[in-house]
């Protein structure tokens, strides 16, 4: 059985009140309410600051025992790429509560568009894996130069996941793919806001986008094909403005005709 985990990138958004969360709900209750509808979430706050173990210890108390957290890697690892051993150790230690309870989906390493395909950066991918030997990790590339056979071969050999994406179809960004380099299929929907992708007044504007049914229908054959080989399907919507990610995720769940248990044979 292949199990589907479909959710959103982040859940703690004030502007979701009245759109998804009940008006007046305490923010401490967001995750419990969220878990009524979804079985996974992608935690993005860990990109901006190193988390503490108490963060995840508290989170896992608010969700079902089979709920999965996928966690974005700290920016010094993916963007500055100057993290020392203490950063890696602190980051992993913070994840201990959800690693021990099997609530960790994967650690997502999202590299910036400026992270170019070259030997030094290629070797850096190997270095990261050495730091996370026994942990499921996934790499997201923003530059299309990483979409080549050499990279796919490396990820497959090292049991590293490849993050498939839906985003504006600019020539230098990655196209729609359903690449599987280990037993976890990972897909992120960023929205298709062409006008605000490269520049915006506010950070949220890039992700201000609501998917149309026909746009998600494009993905159904790719998702179903991948599900024949993957053990887990991790799919997240990052178009979070005004809970558009929640609405988009529910639309995809309906299009896939998934059961409450989110499983398919």
What is the model's pLDDT at position 147?
98
Does the pLDDT value for residue 200 go beyond 90? no
Can you tell me the distance from the alpha carbon of 151 to that of 157, in angstroms, rounded to the nearest whole number? 10
Give the mean pLDDT of 26-33. Answer: 98
More confident residue, 238 or 200: 238
Q: Which residue has the tokens 């996934």?
A: 138
pLDDT given for residue 258 in this prediction: 80
Amino acid 264: pLDDT = 47
Question: What is the value of pTM for the model shown?
Answer: 0.95
pLDDT tens digits, one per residue of 144-194: 999 999 999 999 999 999 999 999 999 999 999 999 999 999 999 999 998
**Position 201 pLDDT exceeds 50:** yes
What is the structure's pLDDT at 205?
A: 83
CA distance 43 to 152: 25
Q: What is the pLDDT of residue 265?
A: 38
CATH of region 2-264, choose from 3.30.360.10, 3.30.110.70, 1.20.59.10, 3.20.20.410: 3.20.20.410
- Could you give the CA distance from residue 77 to residue 124 in angstroms, rounded to a whole number? 10
Burial class (CB in 10 A: 0-12, 13-18, 19+), 131: middle
Judge residue 19's burial from the number of C-beta atoms within 10 Å of its C-beta, 0-12 exposed, 13-18 middle, 19 or more buried: middle
In terms of Cβ atoms closer than 10 Å to its own Cβ (0-12, 13-18, 19+), residue 256 is buried
């Amino acid at each position: 059985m292949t199990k589907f985990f479909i959710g959103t990138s982040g859940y703690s958004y004030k502007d979701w009140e009245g759109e998804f969360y009940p008006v007046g709900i305490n923010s401490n209750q967001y995750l419990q309410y969220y878990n009524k509808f979804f079985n996974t979430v992608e935690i993005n706050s860990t990109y901006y600051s190193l988390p503490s173990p108490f963060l995840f210890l508290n989170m896992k108390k608010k969700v079902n025992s089979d709920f999965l957290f996928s966690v974005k890697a700290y920016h010094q690892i993916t963007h500055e790429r100057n993290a020392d051993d203490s950063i890696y150790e602190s980051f992993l230690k913070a994840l201990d509560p959800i690693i021990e309870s099997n609530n960790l989906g994967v650690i997502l390493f999202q590299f910036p568009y400026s992270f170019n395909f070259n030997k030094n950066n290629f070797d850096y991918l190997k270095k990261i894996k050495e730091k996370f030997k026994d942990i499921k990790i996934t790499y997201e590339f923003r530059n299309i130069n990483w979409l080549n056979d050499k990279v796919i071969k490396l990820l497959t050999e090292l049991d590293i996941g490849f993050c498939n994406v839906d985003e504006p179809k600019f020539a230098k960004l990655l196209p729609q793919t359903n690449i599987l380099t280990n037993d976890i299929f990972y897909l992120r929907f960023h929205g298709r806001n062409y006008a605000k992708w490269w520049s915006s007044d506010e950070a949220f504007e890039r992700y201000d986008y609501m998917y149309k049914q026909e746009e998600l229908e494009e993905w159904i054959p790719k998702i179903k094909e991948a599900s024949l080989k993957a053990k887990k399907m991790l799919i997240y919507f990052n178009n979070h403005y005004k809970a558009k990610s929640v609405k988009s995720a529910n639309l995809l769940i309906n299009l896939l005709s998934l059961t409450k248990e989110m499983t398919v044979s």
